A and B are shown apart, each in its own frame.
Chain A
Amino acid sequence: DAKTTQPPSMDCAEGRAANLPCNHSTISGNEYVYWYRQIHSQGPQYIIHGLKNNETNEMASLIITEDRKSSTLILPHATLRDTAVYYCIVGLGGYQKVTFGTGTKLQVIP
């Protein structure tokens, strides 16, 4: 029942921007795009979410295409601590459960 497609793994040089893509071609008009990450075996951590507009917070930026069928999470200056599995999730938000896929394993290289 996966609603998103992400590359299984990516590498990024430390200090460079990490751009993580996500396809969600079947997203419906009222569904949000959420990004979480999981560092090693820790609990998942919320990063950012958006509906239509691009969003930025202290952790990352989220770029959503105009047709909303894909998005990109941008970590502007990746550090070694950003090495994690990044999950792109679409959902109605609110109190609805979050359904995790397999995500993208980002390795930040010194």
Chain B
Amino acid sequence: EPEVTQTPSHQVTQMGQEVILRCVPISNHLYFYWYRQILGQKVEFLVSFYNNEISEKSEIFDDQFSVERPDGSNFTLKIRSTKLEDSAMYFCASSDWDRRSTGELFFGEGSRLTVL
């Protein structure tokens, strides 16, 4: 069964460092998303991406964050200068929505980011 894969599974970084989290969405999907979940809190939407541009972003997704689809398979989330409060589990998701489906999201297993 096709799945969304994320790397790394766990990354530890120092405050102020740049981090790139990588995702390989399901191959025929066209819509991509990043969510995050701080320990013990809700899963929060960060950004959605379609046709090589951001479709929607939340207030959390400030100038420190960026997303990119550098090739036909990867979808990345970059945090430019990490803060302690960026420590969270980051989930990538993809969707194959078209008029024939109602676009359920398929999530990866997450990348745990720990900022020290």
* B is bound to A: yes
Chain B contact residues: over half helix, strand or loop, or mixed? strand
A86 at the interface (CB under 8 A from B): no
When A41-B89, A99-B45, A102-B42 are in contact, do A94 and B103 touch as well, CB less than 8 Å? yes
B25 at the interface (CB under 8 A from A): no
B107 at the interface (CB under 8 A from A): yes
Q: Do A34 and B43 have beta carbons less than 8 Å apart?
A: no
B95 at the interface (CB under 8 A from A): yes
Which of A34, A44, A46, A97 is the one whose CB lies under 8 Å from B48?
A: A97
Q: Which residues of B contact A32 (CB under 8 A)?
A: 102
Q: Do A46 and B43 have beta carbons less than 8 Å apart?
A: no
Q: Do B107 and A43 have beta carbons less than 8 Å apart?
A: yes
Q: Which residues of A contact B35 (CB under 8 A)?
A: 100
Interface string of A78-110 (1 = CB under 8 A from B): 000000000100000111111111100000000
Q: Do B107 and A44 have beta carbons less than 8 Å apart?
A: yes
Interface residues of A in 29-73 (CB under 8 A from B): 32, 34, 36, 38, 41-46, 49
Q: Which residues of B contact A96 (CB under 8 A)?
A: 103
Q: Do A97 and B33 have beta carbons less than 8 Å apart?
A: yes
Q: Do A49 and B43 have beta carbons less than 8 Å apart?
A: no
Interface bin, chain A: 20 to 34
Which of B42, B97, B110 is the one whose CB lies under 8 Å from A42?
A: B110
Q: Which residues of B contact A99 (CB under 8 A)?
A: 45
Which of A44, A93, A94, A95 is the one whose CB lies under 8 Å from B91?
A: A44
Q: List 6 A-B contacts (CB under 8 A).
A: A43-B108, A44-B107, A46-B106, A95-B48, A97-B45, A98-B45
Chain A interface residues (CB < 8 Å from chain B) = 32, 34, 36, 38, 41-46, 49, 87, 93-102
Closest 10 CB pairs of A and B: A43-B107, A93-B102, A46-B104, A100-B43, A95-B31, A95-B97, A94-B103, A97-B45, A94-B97, A44-B107
